[in-house]
Amino acid sequence: MKLLVINPNISADVTALIESEALRSASAGTELLVRTAGHGVEYIETRFEALIAAGAVAEIIAEHTRPGADPVDAVVVAAFGDPGMPALKELAEVPVIGITEAALCAAALQGHRFSIIAISDRIKPWYRECVEQFGLAGRLASIRSINDSLTSIASVQQDFRETLLALSRQAVAEDGADVVILAGAPLAGLARDLTGQIPVPVVDGISAGIRMAEAVAALQSGPHRAGAFAPPPAKDRKGLSPNLDAALAARQEHAGTPSPPPSQSPTTLGGHRCPTSHNSSLPTPPW
């Protein structure tokens, strides 16, 4: 099995943390292809930063799912808040798993109420919205966070280890958490280091993402070709990168999505032309 693991921020130090924990978590025989966003911010803390990151993640997914690319069995979006999700599920034929949804699922299986430990106060409203999006707001005990300035995103674990431990214990003692989630790629691996020091199960988002991606890929349930996560309908488009255009066109073709009618001039996109339908049995799109 081969997993594409994407760090949606631009920090190589965070990518190293992600890769280290992913390697410890992956099953024997699982190959990891770990990539870093080509543009964006050092670490994602707001909705707008997540919006920027989503485009960077889409480009990497497209690069590895376009026709002729070395295939992967699943994709892991390795930032809490799951930038671009669930929309990215529309782009790939393979499962695309965010570490937030993976961590929440893992927590829900191990306890009734869970708390999230985050690296900043600014990030808390967005995280709360993510929990609500997954329909688990009623099971959220609390979101506790570091309220001091970060000196370096790569050293958060070392700089705030005791703070993070104290926040986790407070979530259990004061908020009634049955499970603690250590949120975000900068905290990857910390759950292992704190084994036995927090009196409830502790979930690491990266570890959960890797294991969930392996499990879902192994189910071989098949791709979304209809329903809410079917590929976007074919239509004229402009300015997409060649990789993104090719991946999107292939996804639409495999799903049987009709292309723009021959009477319209196809748009040239970075050397790729939007396909035109030559199958008269396909319904005429409404544009």
The three-class DSSP label of residue 140 is strand
Q: How many CB atoms lie under 10 A from the CB of residue 287?
A: 10
Q: Enter the pTM of the model.
A: 0.86
Residue 194 predicted with pLDDT over 60? yes
Looking at per-residue pLDDT, the higher value among 256 and 115 belongs to 115
Q: Which of 240, 260, 265 is nearest to 91 (CA)?
A: 240
Q: Provide CB contacts within 8 A for 221, sequence distance 6+.
A: none
Residues 6+ apart with CB under 8 A from 149: none
State both tokens at 154.
Answer: 């790569």
∠ CA 102-194-118, nearest 5°, is 50
**What mean pLDDT do residues 73-77 have?**
98
First to last CA, the chain: 41
Decide if pLDDT at 262 tops 50. no
Average pLDDT, the chain: 89
Measure the CA–CA gap between 223 and 90, rounded to whole angstroms: 10
Between 279 and 106, name the one with better pLDDT: 106
With tokens 């993510």, the residue in question is: 130
